[in-house]
Structure 1
Amino acid sequence: MNSGTHGIKLIAEAKRTARHLPAYNEALVQHVLRETTHQFSRLEELLRTVDELSGADPDYTRRIAAQMALLHANVKWNKRCLLAYHQQRVAFLKQLFWTLGCLPDELREHLSPQELDYFSHYILLINQYKGNYVDIGLTASLIPPKDLYIEVRVVQECGEIQVENGTLMLAKNSQHLVKRSDVEHLIHRGLLEHIR
């Protein structure tokens, strides 16, 4: 397979991440890393060769310089592909936090250990910041609600939840008139449906 082909595969996966989060492709990432390390080692070898052959045949020196330029371009290409792949996944995780406020269990298996660690630290930082402003819901919708209370239908069993005025039992297919701020995170997760 040609050099850089695996980087192109990473970019294709990154594009798919814009809509949903596929499983982290550890094998492909490791392959690109090994390829990059090999190319960089080869680049260092050629650099030593040029130093040893200073004053040698100019055509030979130009050929080595061309090889070095190509290897350097490949190393930069692979690096950019790896960064783009990981940046797209991180952007998806950030967006997920701001829309749902949490990481759904079904997505946990799609993340690498480093991504899980990143997500938990990201939540920790947001919560530390939010701690200074107790009354502000950072993950709440930026569009002001038209009504303080809304009618919702329970799509998926939620059990008992804590609301401002006590507790509320959310059994599947039941309907409730609740304060929007108490259930907005459940609506975003698809557990409740706002009845218009």
Structure 2
Amino acid sequence: MLGDSAYKLALETKRTQTHLPSYNEALVHHLCREARHALNRIEESLVALETLPLSGQQDTRALAAQLAVLHASVKRTKRSLLAYHVQRLRFLKEIFWTVGTIPEEIKPRLSPAELDFFSHYAIAINRYRAPFIDVDLTALEVPPKDLYIEIRVLQDCGEIQLENGSLLLSKNSQHHVKRSDVEHLIAQGLLQHLA
């Protein structure tokens, strides 16, 4: 039935907000063919509408109703396809900002276009980042409120070099340090920021 495939894709998009399944190429291609077929039927109906005699009001209403249903079907299909792809691209952007590269276990799940998007996105961000040598744009999504923070060490990190000396980070120890010195370790999950 018209719209069933778009509904399946919308459900898949909703279910996959926390993980990235394999790209559903078969369903995407099916929806594209379905939309093209509906557009062809719209064109045929418009041609038929132009050739109808002025006295055929019943036929005109039937064709107008058919056009409305087909147009709504194409719009629904398009929205479902866009939602599916936007969700996947958001996930890829999140991977870039947290990890920096695509993990090997995720690569087989991506389409060639998604791999291409990721590489172009990384190039664009790195090109933007180039003039800011001393600033790590991936460090924080929210601006820091304090220059110094309290941290708890979750895993032994050994001795690290700070601006004003060195610091031994042993498991379960707590320290008051400058945020910029340890935020990369917080992002890796080795340290915990204590609020």
TM range (shorter): 0.7 to 0.9
TM-score, normalised by the number of residues in structure 1: 0.76
Mapped to 1, the partners of 2:81 and 2:187 lie a distance apart of 33
Note if contact 2:6-2:77 (Cα within 8 Å) is conserved in structure 1: yes
Assess if the C-alpha contact under 8 Å between 1:153 and 1:195 holds in 2. Answer: no
Distance apart, 1:181 and its partner CA: 5.0
The question of whether the paired residues in 1 share the 8 Å contact of 2:139 and 2:184 is answered with no
Structure 2 Cα separation of the partners of residues 181 and 102 of structure 1: 19
User: In structure 2, what residue type is equivalent to 1:26?
Assistant: E
Unpaired runs of 5+ residues, structure 1, are 155-162, 166-174, 188-192
Q: 1:153 to 1:44 in 2, by over 3 A?
A: same
Equivalent runs, 1:1-196 vs 2, <5 Å? 2-141=1-140, 142=142, 143=144, 146=149, 151=153, 153=155, 180=182, 183=185, 186-187=188-189, 193-194=190-191
Using the size of structure 2 for normalisation, the TM-score is 0.77
Superposed CA offset, 1:114-166 (max 9, x none): 0111011111111001101111111113456726x974638xxxxxxxx989x
Q: CA RMSD in A?
A: 2.6
Q: Which runs of 5+ in 2 are unaligned?
A: 163-170, 174-180
CA gap of 1:129–1:164, structure 2 versus 1, over 3 A, is farther
Q: Secondary structure at the match of 2:155?
A: strand
> Secondary structure, in 3 states, of the residue corresponding to 1:146?
strand
Q: Distance in 2 between matches of 1:108 and 1:41?
A: 36
**For the Cα contact (< 8 Å) 1:7–1:81, is it kept in 2?**
yes
Q: 1:136 to 1:195 in 2, by over 3 A?
A: closer
**In percent, how many aligned pairs have the same letter?**
42
